[in-house]
Structure 1
Amino acid sequence: MPLTLKLIQSHPRKLTVLTSQYAVIGLPLKLATVITLASFAIVFLYKRTNKYSGLQNQPRSTYSGPYRGISNPESRAVYFGIPVFSYEELQQATNNFDQARELGEGSFGTVYYANLQDGREVAVKRLYERNYWPVESFNNEIQILTCMRNKYFVSLYGCTSRHSRELLLVYEYVPNGTLSCHLHGDKAKHRILPWHVRMRIAIDTASALTYLHASDIIHRDVKSSNILIDNNFCVKVADFGLSRLFPNDVTHVSTAPKGTPGYVDPDYRMCYQLTTKSDVYSFGVVLVELISSMPAVDMSRDRDEIKLANLAVRRIQRRAFCELIDPSLGFQSDDKLKRMIVSVAELAFQCLQGDNELRPSMSEVLEVLQRIESENDEPASFEGIEIHGARVPQSYTRPPLPNMKLQRHHQTL
């Protein structure tokens, strides 16, 4: 018989006591084990619940554009170095986008005068609709104006996030209106811009565009209403919503023509090939506005001259400057002034060539304007230029490239 069985048979009472003792000792061990397991379960469930709760609190939408990778743009104080405003703040600043505060309209939105809570006067652009083009315009404005620093560009103070009710951009407020207003708008009724001011505006605008082209960017919407004027009549070029990157290793960018009627390069409109010379053409229209005080488009003119560019080309071809130049400038009584204005008209003639290969570059345009202002300009030769089938006799020599060194600051658009 085994020893264990003998012990059980010989000492049954001791076995009962021993079993009772083990039962008493095992009870706390079982309770401790249950409590420990329960604790682990509670901790596990708590962490898991918090994890899913945190995921649910995060934005569920994903999007592309400059805010990619930012889970909640409005929680950030700045973006690309500029503040992110809430829609409600800008709504209040514009008095609920009061029509009386409208400053004008850009390519993709209406601009309003606004007062921020910190007392600053600003201009707020309210984009029309949230479709492809306004969103691209929104992106372009932010990327260009936060990466390009130039005293002739309007400053961007901030924007709303892509999650806001509407896309809004906040700019510095330029109080003296646009060049268009001063030439043939409300301000023209009260004060005529003297020639030396117009000349300075032309040079400042050409400087801005030269800098832009040197940074591989085409503005694509150069016009007098996008040239803002401050109280000192200094230029601030605005509205970069249509701008495009122009890599220096290509000859053109193929894209559907965009821009404002009366300013769009006819070569670009016909061939769908955007180049820096497209801006040159538009600037040529601005030059004609400066010397004539006429709008770029006027339906009251003869059909063939509704576009100011067509009118100017015909007058300059016939050398009928008296029919083009604003008589209020007094050029007929001042031979020196007349030579300067005629030189600018002839430069505009170069810019308005139908074939973009015949147009000068913006840096060349800037150099000629600076020579004219310094009164060291030699009469330009326009011999051999063909416009709409008409040819000016003999040969044409383009001015030399200026020696300009400009820093490039841009990001891919």
Structure 2
Amino acid sequence: MEKGVGLRLKEEDEVPIYHRDVKSTNILLDEKHRAKVSDFGISRSVAIDDTHLTTIVQGTVGYVDPEYLQSSHFTGKSDVYSFGVVLIELLTGGKPVSILRPQEVRMLGAYFLEAMRNDRLHEIIDARIKEECDQEEVLAVAKLARRCLSLNSEHRPTMRDVFIELDRLQSKKQGAQNQAENCEEHTHIQIAIPESMSLSYYSPYTVVENSSFSPDSKPFMIHKTL
């Protein structure tokens, strides 16, 4: 999962930009499969010291921050809410809005939060995610998404916090993969041979010399270094 899916993190001395329409169809992949956010048609830049933008509510149903809907005040945390919906789309494979769900949970955000409250996350996770992804990592992303979807914007992380957490998860996964590769590289095959045979060094195998040999001996044994 691409860290922050290309949402650019502002530095303290940069002018903040509110995208205002973060959604899965506005996230594109380049030739190297790097995610980039597109469609800045309704985005707005604000002064560094401004805490929010007061405007007529705009955005896509299912992704719009409920707090923004009620107050018409858009903040950086409103983009975070929308990104949370993108995360749970990836986790569940569900649509942001579905009439097939009960009315109170037609919005994917509400549906996901209800499942988390009732410990039913495993019931709504996409089958491919269950099969192909580490479940500890899936749970960590789900918890991050839950924070992004908090109805109180003060309880949501910043986009920078989201980036840091996704980066941590990605680094942890990469570290585990590297460790697994190292284990494979250190796999040794022991070969039983007659005493009369002389062998030279044969990488990457470890040769066991001076071993008794009989027709019943197994030709090799594999020992994995854990």
TM-score by length of 2: 0.71
CA contact (8 A) 1:350 1:360 kept: yes
Counterpart among 130, 147, 150 of residue 350 in structure 1: 147
Equivalent in the alignment of 1:304: 104
SS across alignment from 1:241:
coil
Deviation at 1:217, TM superposition (A): 0.5
Q: Distance in 2 between matches of 1:298 and 1:228?
A: 23
In structure 2, the CA distance between the partners of 1:318 and 1:258, relative to structure 1 (3 Å rule), is same
Equivalent in the alignment of 1:260: 60
Q: How does 1:111-126 map to 2 (within 5 A)?
A: none
Are residue 288 (structure 1) and residue 88 (structure 2) matched?
A: yes
SS across alignment from 1:228:
strand
Deviation at 1:324, TM superposition (A): 2.1
Equivalent in the alignment of 2:7: 208
Deviation at 1:222, TM superposition (A): 0.1
Equivalent in the alignment of 1:362: 159
Q: Distance in 1 between matches of 2:27 and 2:51?
A: 27
Counterpart among 330, 351, 354 of residue 130 in structure 2: 330
Which has the bigger relative contact order, CA under 8 A and spacing at least 6? 2
Deviation at 1:330, TM superposition (A): 3.1
Write out per-residue CA displacement over residues 42-65 of structure 1, whole angstroms, 9 at most, x where no aligned residue. Answer: xxxxxxxxxxxxxxxxxxxxxxxx
Counterpart among 2, 25, 28 of residue 225 in structure 1: 25
Residue type of the alignment partner of 2:139:
V
Equivalent in the alignment of 1:340: 137
CA contact (8 A) 1:212 1:218 kept: no
Residue type of the alignment partner of 1:286:
V
Q: How does 1:181-196 map to 2 (within 5 A)?
A: none
Q: Distance in 2 between matches of 1:229 and 1:250?
A: 32
Equivalent in the alignment of 2:40: 240
Residue type of the alignment partner of 2:70:
M
CA contact (8 A) 1:340 1:373 kept: no
Q: How does 1:385-404 map to 2 (within 5 A)?
A: none
Structure 1, unmatched stretches of 5+, are: 1-198, 377-413
Q: Distance in 2 between matches of 1:234 and 1:204?
A: 11
Q: Distance in 2 between matches of 1:271 and 1:308?
A: 21
Residue type of the alignment partner of 2:7:
A
Deviation at 1:212, TM superposition (A): 8.9
Are residue 276 (structure 1) and residue 38 (structure 2) matched?
A: no
Write out per-residue CA displacement over residues 303-332 of structure 1, whole angstroms, 9 at most, x where no aligned residue. Answer: 11211000010111122121221122235x
CA contact (8 A) 2:15 2:48 kept: no
Residue type of the alignment partner of 1:273:
H
Structure 2, unmatched stretches of 5+, are: 174-226
Residue type of the alignment partner of 1:227:
I
SS across alignment from 1:236:
strand
Q: Distance in 2 between matches of 1:209 and 1:309?
A: 23
SS across alignment from 2:28:
strand
Equivalent in the alignment of 2:116: 316
Q: Distance in 2 between matches of 1:375 and 1:292?
A: 22
Q: Distance in 2 between matches of 1:231 and 1:325?
A: 28
CA contact (8 A) 1:228 1:237 kept: yes
Q: Distance in 2 between matches of 1:295 and 1:307?
A: 8
In structure 2, the CA distance between the partners of 1:306 and 1:234, relative to structure 1 (3 Å rule), is same
Equivalent in the alignment of 2:220: none
Q: Distance in 2 between matches of 1:212 and 1:280?
A: 17
CA contact (8 A) 2:55 2:73 kept: yes
- Alignment length, in residue pairs? 172
Residue type of the alignment partner of 2:87:
L
Q: Tell which structure's C-alpha radius of gyration is larger.
A: 1
